[in-house]
A and B are shown apart, each in its own frame.
Chain A
Amino acid sequence: MKAFRNLVKPYLFWMGVFIVIPMLLIILYAFTRQGNDVMTFTFTFDNFIKFFDPIFLKVLGKSLQIAFVTTLVSIILGYPVAYYVANTKEKTQTLLILLITIPMWINMLVRTYSWISILSDNGFLNSILKAIGLSPVSLMYTDFAVTLGMVYNFMPFMILSIYTVLAKMDKALIAASYDLGANRLQTFLRIVLPLSVPGIIAGITLVFLPAVSTFVIPKFLGGGNYMLIGNLIENQFITVGEWNFGSAISLIMAMVIMGSMLLTRRLDRNVEESDKGVNHGNGGVMYGRQ
């Protein structure tokens, strides 16, 4: 068996070059001044201090706010959908899940781009409003448009991870609850909902994380001047060329995301502790990517 162990070795080297060194480089750039020579680095906290300017803090605040609203809307709209899909016949379930999955396979930029033709001032939506005699609305380049684009792109992840948990749930528990005299609402609130929390938590991770860091959706639907933290990082690297500041912003963003994930996980643990003895399904299914 020892012969097979050596198979890991090439990847150890590869990981060092393509995962560890890039991380170290981001940290190095974040803590140094611009104009590094190969061997001389000037350490500084300036890049972090610079971020604590009301302009930049506002951008971070807005990113968190929009990501939060996106996650919340995805839960509120996605949960009932997942619930009803899980309650259909098995064949229907397969079909519906396939239908929900197909759009996720289509290029995200293309899908977001197509919203422009719906939301723009002389777009699809306004031509319908005009046709039924209502006054047109200006939707493009607003918070609403950006949030809509994010819900559109990320809600499928929420639906799928809640569905996975609900579909695996032991139906006997629900029957037992009815037998013991609980009504539908009580059964849902006391049995189904608590058991599906791991699915919601997994969904939050899959929605919140890309929603905080995306820069394509705000650029397409929020316009060129719309700034979220992702756009700020993109600008530092592509337009402004301040890699050191850009690296510092990325580190701050990574920290904030990690913090919110730990917070969410604590929420999960609290729920788990409150109903010990009930076996949770594993909701940590990776549906992939964004």
Chain B
Amino acid sequence: MVGSKPAKWLPFFLIGSTLLFFYLPILIMMVFSFNGSRSLTNWAGFSTQWYTQLFNSRDMMAAVMTTVSIALISTVISTFVGTVTAIGLSKSNKVIKETVLMISNLPILNPEIVTAIGLMLLFSAFAIRRGFATMLLAHIAFSIPYVILTILPKLRTLDPNIAEAAMDLGATPWQALIKVIVPQITPGIVAGALIAFTMSFDDFVISYFVTGNGVKNISILVYTMSKRINPTINALSTILVVIITIALVLVNALPMLRKKERIAIE
């Protein structure tokens, strides 16, 4: 490679094989979710039996319901608390701000399993029966730090005098907050909510330790069912992959489309 241009095929080959490595397992899983037999290697004709089984399985549907409802509720609560806290922090003095962030970031810096057993010990110390409620509380707890971290940089770019100006003009602090500050950090709030939702939706380790009473989310169900080859997991995963891919493509394509529209209008 010294002195001469590297061969064109090298980058192509490297990036291509890396992407193949990332996508091959997912593709195989998706293809075999339509397999006629239980086998993951022998193709026994096209069939949607695993999808039928999936929708008929009470466990599966309960896990989907648990996952979605916990993700939605914890996103709303953690986004609200995170936003309020971030705004408060942006107006606090440096010492308070740094101390709060240091403690708040502990669950991000710690291995997940440590956070998980800490919460498990907490719930048992207060004799709270583990189940849906404890899982929800845990999800709110691990999401808030990420929401704060996402919103704080947006607040930093904000003119510090703007809220004061609003209040000089007669706005109450509450009005200044809702009508002046919040609209300007909306992109940050949306990003924080998205992170909170996906973190909750995908979580396994913390949910696994703080749940009980038979309450399972999708990850826990996959973990307990993984002992035997179970094509319904493939069917469920395929549905999730399709939904996530569509959502991601939309999120990435929308700004581009809008830009094009704007150019077209101009």
- Whether the Cβ atoms of A114 and B144 lie closer than 8 Å is no
What is the CB-to-nearest-CB distance from B74 to chain A, in angstroms, rounded to a whole number?
A: 13
The reply on B219 being an interface residue by CB < 8 A is yes
Separation of A183 and B115 alpha carbons in the complex (Å): 49
The reply on A81 being an interface residue by CB < 8 A is yes
- Whether the Cβ atoms of B118 and A25 lie closer than 8 Å is yes
- Whether the Cβ atoms of B113 and A10 lie closer than 8 Å is no
- What A residues does B90 contact at CB under 8 A? 4
The reply on A52 being an interface residue by CB < 8 A is no
**Known contacts A220-B226, A290-B112; is-contact A233 B117 (Cβ 8 Å):** yes
What is the CB-to-nearest-CB distance from A254 to chain B, in angstroms, rounded to a whole number?
A: 6
- Whether the Cβ atoms of B144 and A14 lie closer than 8 Å is yes
- What B residues does A105 contact at CB under 8 A? 198, 202, 244, 248
Interchain CB contact (< 8 A) of A108 among B4, B137, B202: B202
Separation of A19 and B163 alpha carbons in the complex (Å): 32
Separation of A25 and B119 alpha carbons in the complex (Å): 9
**Known contacts A25-B118, A114-B26; is-contact A7 B87 (Cβ 8 Å):** yes
- Whether the Cβ atoms of B26 and A22 lie closer than 8 Å is no
Interchain CB contact (< 8 A) of B237 among A77, A107, A152: A107
Separation of A289 and B200 alpha carbons in the complex (Å): 11
Interchain CB contact (< 8 A) of A183 among B3, B10, B104: B3
What is the predominant secondary structure among interface residues of chain A facing chain B? helix
The reply on A281 being an interface residue by CB < 8 A is no
- Whether the Cβ atoms of A18 and B163 lie closer than 8 Å is no
Give the interface segment out of A41-49, A54-62, A94-102, A270-278: A94-102
Interchain CB contact (< 8 A) of A215 among B14, B32, B113: B113
The reply on A103 being an interface residue by CB < 8 A is yes
- What B residues does A5 contact at CB under 8 A? 88, 91-92
The reply on B15 being an interface residue by CB < 8 A is yes
- What B residues does A159 contact at CB under 8 A? 18
The reply on A146 being an interface residue by CB < 8 A is no
The reply on B215 being an interface residue by CB < 8 A is no
Separation of A94 and B22 alpha carbons in the complex (Å): 17
Separation of A200 and B88 alpha carbons in the complex (Å): 34
**Known contacts A8-B88, A19-B104, A22-B119; is-contact A184 B25 (Cβ 8 Å):** no
| Closest A residue to B105 using CB positions | A19
A interface, size bucket: 35 or more
The reply on B2 being an interface residue by CB < 8 A is yes
The reply on A31 being an interface residue by CB < 8 A is no
What is the CB-to-nearest-CB distance from A74 to chain B, in angstroms, rounded to a whole number?
A: 11
**Known contacts A6-B88, A8-B85, A8-B88; is-contact A253 B240 (Cβ 8 Å):** no
The reply on A87 being an interface residue by CB < 8 A is yes
Separation of A55 and B88 alpha carbons in the complex (Å): 50
The reply on B44 being an interface residue by CB < 8 A is no
| Closest A residue to B120 using CB positions | A237
- Whether the Cβ atoms of B204 and A109 lie closer than 8 Å is yes
Separation of A107 and B92 alpha carbons in the complex (Å): 38
**Known contacts A25-B122, A107-B218; is-contact A10 B84 (Cβ 8 Å):** yes
- Whether the Cβ atoms of B84 and A7 lie closer than 8 Å is yes
Binary A-proximity of B244-258 (CB < 8 A = 1, otherwise 0) = 110010001000000
- Whether the Cβ atoms of B40 and A124 lie closer than 8 Å is yes
Most chain A CB atoms below 10 A, which of B14, B23, B202, B240 = B202
- List which A1-55 residues lie within 8 A (CB) of chain B: 1, 3-12, 14-15, 17-23, 25-26, 29
- Whether the Cβ atoms of A14 and B114 lie closer than 8 Å is no
- Whether the Cβ atoms of A106 and B121 lie closer than 8 Å is no
Separation of A126 and B177 alpha carbons in the complex (Å): 62
The reply on B209 being an interface residue by CB < 8 A is yes
- What A residues does B26 contact at CB under 8 A? 103, 106, 111, 114
- What B residues does A116 contact at CB under 8 A? 40, 226, 229
**Known contacts A19-B107, A25-B121, A81-B18; is-contact A117 B41 (Cβ 8 Å):** yes
| Closest B residue to A95 using CB positions | B252
- List which B74-112 residues lie within 8 A (CB) of chain A: 81, 84-85, 87-92, 96, 100, 103-104, 106-108, 110-112
The reply on A156 being an interface residue by CB < 8 A is yes
10 cross-chain pairs, A with B, having the tightest CB-CB distances, nearest first? A22-B118, A7-B88, A213-B111, A8-B88, A117-B40, A84-B11, A114-B25, A114-B29, A18-B141, A3-B173
- Residues of A at the B interface (CB closer than 8 Å) are 1, 3-12, 14-15, 17-23, 25-26, 29, 77, 80-81, 84-85, 87-88, 94, 96, 98-103, 105-111, 113-118, 120, 122-124, 126-127, 152, 156, 159, 183-185, 209-210, 212-213, 215-216, 220, 230, 233-234, 237-238, 243, 246-247, 250, 253-254, 257, 286, 288-290
- Residues of B at the A interface (CB closer than 8 Å) are 1-4, 6, 10-11, 14-15, 18-19, 21-26, 28-29, 32, 39-41, 81, 84-85, 87-92, 96, 100, 103-104, 106-108, 110-115, 117-122, 125, 137, 141, 144, 146, 149, 163-164, 173, 177, 195, 198-199, 202, 204-205, 209, 218-219, 222-223, 226, 229, 233-234, 237, 240-241, 244-245, 248, 252
